[in-house]
Structures are given as C-alpha cells and as structure tokens.
Amino acid sequence: MAQDKLKLIPLGGLGEFGMNCLAIRWQDDIIVIDAGLMFPEEELLGVDIVVPDISYLTENREKVRAIILTHGHEDHIGGLPWILSELNVPVYGTEFTLAFVEGKLEEHNLLDEADLNELIPGKRLTLGPFSIMPIRVTHSLVDCVALAIHTPVGVVLHTGDFKIDLTPVDGRRTDLVLFDHGQVYRSPTSILLAVRPELRLPKPMASDVFMWSVSDIMQLREPEPFFYERPCLPVQTSSLDSVRYRTWSEEWNL
C-alpha cells in the first residue's frame, strides 16, 4: 500500500499578488487557508475581479472541513462570497476579520446561511486530523494570525501576511514566544509557507504608528536559506460575467 501523503494544493496566490487560497488535504479531509481575490491587470479588460477556481473543492465537497482566514485584507477574504455560494462550509477567523466577512456576506445575501466561527489566537482548533494553533502576528491590519497546522506527518507553518512590528497600533505584538513554545519547528517533516515580498530589503519598514520613515532603526539580517520561491503557472482561465476564475495545476505531496 502506498504511504499516505499530505497534499498542499495552491488554488491561487503563488507567483502573483492576490487571490491567496490554499487547500491542505490528508486522506479524506481538506481544510482551506484564506479565500482571496485579485484585481485584474491591464490585459483583462471588462473583468472586475479574479477569484480562484474551486472546482477541486466542489468535486470533493464532502471532504472540506472549513475555510480558515489569516486576516481581513481583500486578497485573503475577498473571494469568500463566490466560494460560499458554491460551497457552504464553516468559516473561521478572528473577531476583526469576521466583522469584514459579515459585511461582505450580507452584501451578497449569504450572511444568514453562513457558519462563522471566531478564531482565538493561542487557542487550539481541531478539524478532523488537523490540529491548528492560531498565532498572533502583526501586519498593516489588526487581529491577524499565522497558523501552525499539526498533521499526522508534521507541522505546516502558514505565516499569513506579517511583519515584526514592535509598536503595533493595537499594542498586540507578534507572539514570538508561542512560535517557539508551540514546538512548531520540533516536529518531523515541517514546512514553512511564508510570504516573502520585500524580504531582502536592507532595512525594515516603519511601524504603522509612525507617519514618517524610521527605517534606520535596525539592520535586517540576511534571510535564512529556507526562504525560497516555487512559482506556479496558470494553465487554464475562463470568464463568467465580470469575474475571472483561474485554475492552478500544481500539487505538492509531502
């Protein structure tokens, strides 16, 4: 019998800015991280937004446990109305993120049927074989989380969008202690999924509490070797009204 493998299926967000959506599958259980949209580039005339093609999820709808949101930016939650209209599964997000989601779903007349659940940083969530620890991170938006996803073969650390801001506007810093205490890197076959725009900038960006540049505060260290890019190319596109659905063909087996 072939050994069971953990599958990571990117439905969007790789090699582009926006449309973040990742399916993680173990045997007959699937969780989805984020459900973003992307605004079209110049060549997509007449297209208002681009959202992931979720045919993989609809074909396996009985296996999808939930959608988990890392934060409330459009490139991470903007595709939810289109996804939930086809696949009404539980949605998890922090209190602030869900406030954004509620407005979107109400606009599309989907709020009454939606199953929205609050995700609390530091409180573990179990969905089938996945044990998920939300870890607070700072970003240009408040109430954001990374996800340490414990699976039968190791830990998948999904950072979401983040920056190390020592003076965040809400006073809630990135929980670096929980990153270590949660034994994220001490389990076999761990993989880090991290956003890397501007990673190699020689100096850090300013804190959001400042209205002027403070980029000379400290020198950024050279990135560690495990930060790398693995681009995926779009293989199929199809239009529906003013929404463009993009399909990704690559699947990672771990």
Place of tokens 């072939």: 2
The Cα–Cα gap between 64 and 62 comes to 6
What is the DSSP-derived secondary structure letter of residue 163? B
Look at residue 234 in the predicted model and tell me its pLDDT.
31
Look at residue 164 in the predicted model and tell me its pLDDT.
77
Arithmetic mean of pLDDT, 170-180:
80
Average pLDDT of the chain is: 76
- Quick check: 9 and 22 in contact, CB under 8 A? yes
Q: Is the pLDDT of residue 245 over 50?
A: no
Which two three-digit tokens encode residue 214? 């403070």
Instruction: Give the range among 31-45, 116-130, 186-200, 201-215 with minimum mean pLDDT.
Output: 201-215
Q: Domains of the chain: which residue ranges? A: 6-232
Look at residue 181 in the predicted model and tell me its pLDDT.
60
Per-residue pLDDT tens over the stretch 137-167: 988 888 999 999 999 988 898 988 888 777 7
Burial status of residue 215 (CB atoms within 10 A of its CB: 0-12, 13-18, 19 or more): middle
The Cα–Cα gap between 135 and 128 comes to 20
Q: Is the pLDDT of residue 2 over 60?
A: no
Query: Yes or no: is domain 6-232 CATH 3.60.15.10?
Result: yes
Beta-carbon count within 10 A of 78 CB: 24
- Quick check: 90 and 65 in contact, CB under 8 A? yes
Look at residue 3 in the predicted model and tell me its pLDDT.
65
| Residue (of 12, 17, 108) closest to 52 by Cα position | 12
Arithmetic mean of pLDDT, 193-217:
52
Chain center to CA of 149: 12
